[in-house]
A and B are shown apart, each in its own frame.
Chain A
């Protein structure tokens, strides 16, 4: 069974700080997606990374896919209160007919 472990589980920081959250597995994934979920809403897709070593930037957010396609990281520069939410990673399995595999997420709280 393929699993995605996310760390840390909870993170509370001050506005302006930098942070990195991680998504790790012992399995290889064809691609990996990152979602953000705000209270009372469903997850919303932020980015998809496909190639090992790939780096994608979305304003202050930088996403990296590990060279071996087993792990990924999300780095936020100068965090803002609007970044508060649950960050979920989801992996595309190599097995045909299987749905995305979601990690349990990192809950981020940014206070002003």
Chain B
């Protein structure tokens, strides 16, 4: 079975540019999570969706970040405009269940570098 698929795997861009990260969850999973991981702060939850509806976006840093889930098989995380402090590894994860606390399956992440 295919796992969670994220693209791109690496992204290098200049500050001020728009960045779009993509995620395809595991088929049948109805919860989807976006995380950011840095050495300093560890794994931070940005937002999670259940049945395509955002449930908790309190971790989204600021208005420059937005996430969408137009259907059960696709989600995007957008940063506009990007800043150097946004450099991190961004993970998408999915799980099955009504609550956001079931075991999660992670993608391999997108390593984002903002110059």
Q: Do A and B come from one complex?
A: yes
| A97 and B56 within 8 A (CB) | yes
Shortest Cβ gap from A92 to chain B (Å): 4
Shortest Cβ gap from B93 to chain A (Å): 7
| A99 and B101 within 8 A (CB) | yes
B interface, size bucket: 20 to 34
Residues on the B chain within 8 Å of A96, using CB: 99
Q: Out of A33, A42, A102, A103, which one reaches B103, CB within 8 Å?
A: A33
| B contacts, CB < 8 Å to A | 4, 33, 41-43, 45, 48, 55-56, 91, 93, 99-101, 103-109
| B106 and A42 within 8 A (CB) | yes
| B104 and A100 within 8 A (CB) | yes
Shortest Cβ gap from B104 to chain A (Å): 7
A interface, size bucket: 20 to 34
A88 near B: Cβ within 8 Å? yes
Residues on the B chain within 8 Å of A42, using CB: 4, 91, 93, 106-109
Question: Contacts A42-B4, A103-B42, A105-B42 hold; do A97 and B108 have CB atoms under 8 A apart?
Answer: no
